[in-house]
Structure 1
Amino acid sequence: MISISLCMIVKNEELVLGRCLDSVKNLMDEIIIVDTGSTDKTKEIASLYTNKIYDFPWINDFAAARNFSFSKATKDYIMWLDADDVLLYEDNKKLQQLKENLDTSVDMVIMRYNMSFDKDDKPTYSFNRERLLKRSCNYTWSGQVHEAIDYFGNIIYSSIGISHKKIKETPIDRNLKIYEYILSQGKKLQPREEFYYGRELMYNNRFDDAIEVLTSFINSSFGFVENKISACKDLAFCYFAQNKNLEGLLSLFRSFQFDEPRAEICCDIGYYFLEKQEYTKAIFWYELALTRTFDEKSSAFQIIDCYNYIPYLQLCVCYDKIGNYQKAFEYNELAGSIKPYDESYLYNKEYFNNFFSTF
């Protein structure tokens, strides 16, 4: 059985650190906490779980802090978590099995990172992340913000999910300030950094700046394909926010130059035509979304509901609008098969019960 070092970087995480560590402590052979300047009880809480607590002065560089935490690891494999992450019961059991049975020829294990959830606590937005790493491979983090590790070696994909469960909100401009600090030092952003910088501008409603940066990234000959596609979706959002709807639609279509249509893009185009009350066109795009396959091994940002629930629900609306009530009812029932307690499905169900009872 392999041994695992858990490596974390933290700052003012007294509200969530204990929850995180309680969810994984039974599986970790070593817990390393690197504190970047807490002023609350974070280090006191950490001391209940480990004596390997280190200070690392914050230098506007997440990768540097994570690399420092990795340098303290001594076990076969390294796992990283953020303080507001949780390993749920079933995922804990899966990780236990993985730990007991992992072939030591494996260098990297990719796991799902579940970032948002519906009312039934089912993931609605997730992507893959490098999560368990063989220490002897000397993997290194890069990127001062949205840091990542390059994939290499013998890699496997696992269905284990890490659940990101925020309690407090991070200041929305935190990452943006770091990017602007980097630029103020005269440094040039790498393609991946340019993509994320554009997203941070978008999150801060600086749409003109975001459009400029995202367009530059899309036009460049460098960058990961999935980031190019996401950038097209983000660029469309910026245009829609400015009521430049045609430019937004064209941005969505531009994603097709990089690969076949993604369900998320299809749903956005469908919504564009739904809002314009062009229901037949909307139906085409929502039905196309249903032909897309959710890729468990993709590194893309995937909105799980775009592969079933959202198209089902919106097709119900579209078919109702064009008078095909039976098909509208059938699509609503399909939506209910995914989320039987969702308010929209239940509202539609009552609507159809009342509608058909009049005949």
Structure 2
Amino acid sequence: MISVSLCMIVRDEEEVLGRCLESVKSTADEMIIVDTGSQDRTKEVAAQYTDKIYDFEWKEDFSAARNFSLSKGTKDYLMWLDADDILPEESAAAMLELKQKLPCDTDVVMMPYAVAFDASGKSTFTYDRERLVKNNGAFLFRGRVHEVIPPAGNIYYSDVLIEHRKIGSGDGDRNLRIYQDMEKKGEYFDSRSLYYYGRELLSHREYEKGAQVLRSFLDRPDGWVENQIDATRQMAYCFYGTGEEGRALGALLEGLAYDVPRGETCCDLGRHFMDRGQYEQAAYWYRQALSAKKAERSGAFITEDCYGYLPAISLCVCYDRLGEYGLAEEYNELAETFSPGSDYCRVNREYFRRRRSDGQKRDPNIH
């Protein structure tokens, strides 16, 4: 059985750190906590679980802090978590099983990371992350922000799910501030950094520059294909923000050149045409989304609703607008299978019932 060192960096995390460490205490053989300048009770909480608590001066560089934490681990494998992550009970059991069966020649273990949830608690946005790495000095984080350990060697894909259960908003400007500091200092942006810089600019509504940075990323020859596909979507959002709808559509269509269409791109194309009253074109793309390739083991960002509920409920609307009420009802019921108890499906069902009973024309408020 392998042994695992949990290596974490924390700062002002008294609200969530105990929750995280409690969830993982049965699976970690060692806990390393590196504090980067807490002003609250974070260290006191950590001390309830481990005496291996270290200080590290914050340098606006996540990789530097994380690599320091990795350097303190002494077990076979090093595992990282954020303070607002948790290992659900079923994942803890699966983690113990993984420790028993993991092949000894494994270098990196990938695990699904759920970062968004619906009202019922079901994950709506997941992607794989490198979560355990062999403790041989070969694996280090790269990047001042949106840091990553590049997977290499023998990679094992595990179903142990980590959940990101954030409390509070945090410092929403931090990542952009770091990238802007890099730019000001003339530091080199690798392709991954350009991609995430563009996303940060978009989230801060700096649409014109965001589009320029994402274009620079897409012009690089070494971009990762999943990032390239997503970058075309993010660039489209930038163009919508600047009012350049034609360029937005062009960016979405550009994404089709990298691989078979993803559900996220198909839904964006469907929305583009539906918003403009072009319901046949919209329906075409939403149908494609229902059968689209979900790149589950690629590490891509996956919006689960784009492969089920969203295209189904959107097809309901499209076919209602086209006067094909039977199809509209069928897709409404299909949407219900993806999201049982959906209020939208319930309201739509009542609308169809009324329309059948009294000949009511299409309701413009159908969802």
Question: What TM-score does the superposition give when structure 2 sets the normalisation length?
Answer: 0.95
Q: What is the percentage of aligned positions where both structures have the same residue?
A: 47
Q: Is the 8 A contact 2:23 2:92 kept in 1?
A: yes
Q: Is the 8 A contact 2:109 2:156 kept in 1?
A: yes
Aligned to 2:312, what secondary structure does the other structure show?
Answer: helix
1:326 alignment counterpart? 326
Q: Which moved more, 1:148-157 or 1:94-103?
A: 94-103
1:38 alignment counterpart? 38
1:317 alignment counterpart? 317
How far has the Cα of 1:343 moved from its partner?
1.9
For the pair 1:74 / 2:74, whether they are aligned, the reply is: yes
1:344 alignment counterpart? 344
Aligned to 1:54, what secondary structure does the other structure show?
Answer: strand
How far has the Cα of 1:19 moved from its partner?
0.7
Q: Which moved more, 1:10-19 or 1:185-194?
A: 185-194
1:155 alignment counterpart? 155
1:85 alignment counterpart? 85
Instruction: Give the partner amino acid of 2:345.
Output: Y
Q: Is the 8 A contact 1:172 1:204 kept in 2?
A: no
For the pair 1:201 / 2:201, whether they are aligned, the reply is: yes
1:190 alignment counterpart? 190
Distance 1:44 1:12, change over 3 A: same
2:5 alignment counterpart? 5
How far has the Cα of 1:137 moved from its partner?
5.4
Question: What TM-score does the superposition give when structure 1 sets the normalisation length?
Answer: 0.97
How far has the Cα of 1:24 moved from its partner?
0.7
d(CA) in 1 for partners of 2:350 and 2:141?
52
d(CA) in 2 for partners of 1:256 and 1:271?
16
Deviations 1:73-106 (A, max 9, x none): 0111111100011111221221121112212121
How far has the Cα of 1:259 moved from its partner?
1.7
2:18 alignment counterpart? 18
Q: Is the 8 A contact 1:61 1:145 kept in 2?
A: yes
Deviations 1:168-200 (A, max 9, x none): 112221101111111222212111111111111
- Return 5+ residue gaps in structure 2 as ranges: 360-367
For these two proteins, the number of residue pairs brought into alignment is 359
1:290 alignment counterpart? 290
Q: Is the 8 A contact 1:263 1:307 kept in 2?
A: yes
d(CA) in 2 for partners of 1:134 and 1:334?
45
Q: Is the 8 A contact 2:262 2:294 kept in 1?
A: no
2:363 alignment counterpart? none
Instruction: Give the partner amino acid of 2:314.
Output: Q
Instruction: Give the partner amino acid of 1:235.
Output: M
- Alignment of structure 1 residues 251-270 onto 2, 5 Å: 251-270=251-270
- Alignment of structure 1 residues 57-72 onto 2, 5 Å: 57-72=57-72
How far has the Cα of 1:232 moved from its partner?
0.5
d(CA) in 2 for partners of 1:31 and 1:346?
48
Question: Would you identify which runs of 4 or more consecutive aligned residues in structure 1 move more than 6 Å?
Answer: none
Q: Is the 8 A contact 2:201 2:209 kept in 1?
A: yes
2:122 alignment counterpart? 122
How far has the Cα of 1:218 moved from its partner?
1.1
- Return 5+ residue gaps in structure 1 as ranges: none
Deviations 1:289-309 (A, max 9, x none): 111132320211111110111
1:141 alignment counterpart? 141
d(CA) in 2 for partners of 1:74 and 1:181?
34
d(CA) in 2 for partners of 1:156 and 1:239?
39
2:248 alignment counterpart? 248
d(CA) in 2 for partners of 1:65 and 1:353?
60
Instruction: Give the partner amino acid of 2:138.
Output: N
Aligned to 1:57, what secondary structure does the other structure show?
Answer: coil
2:365 alignment counterpart? none
d(CA) in 2 for partners of 1:84 and 1:312?
33
d(CA) in 2 for partners of 1:281 and 1:206?
30
Q: Is the 8 A contact 1:172 1:203 kept in 2?
A: no
Instruction: Give the partner amino acid of 1:190.
Output: D
2:353 alignment counterpart? 353
d(CA) in 2 for partners of 1:349 and 1:48?
53
d(CA) in 1 for partners of 2:159 and 2:332?
29
Q: Is the 8 A contact 1:107 1:137 kept in 2?
A: no
Instruction: Give the partner amino acid of 2:17.
Output: L
Q: Is the 8 A contact 1:228 1:258 kept in 2?
A: yes
Aligned to 2:121, what secondary structure does the other structure show?
Answer: coil
2:213 alignment counterpart? 213
For the pair 1:179 / 2:201, whether they are aligned, the reply is: no
Instruction: Give the partner amino acid of 1:84.
Output: D
d(CA) in 2 for partners of 1:259 and 1:137?
35
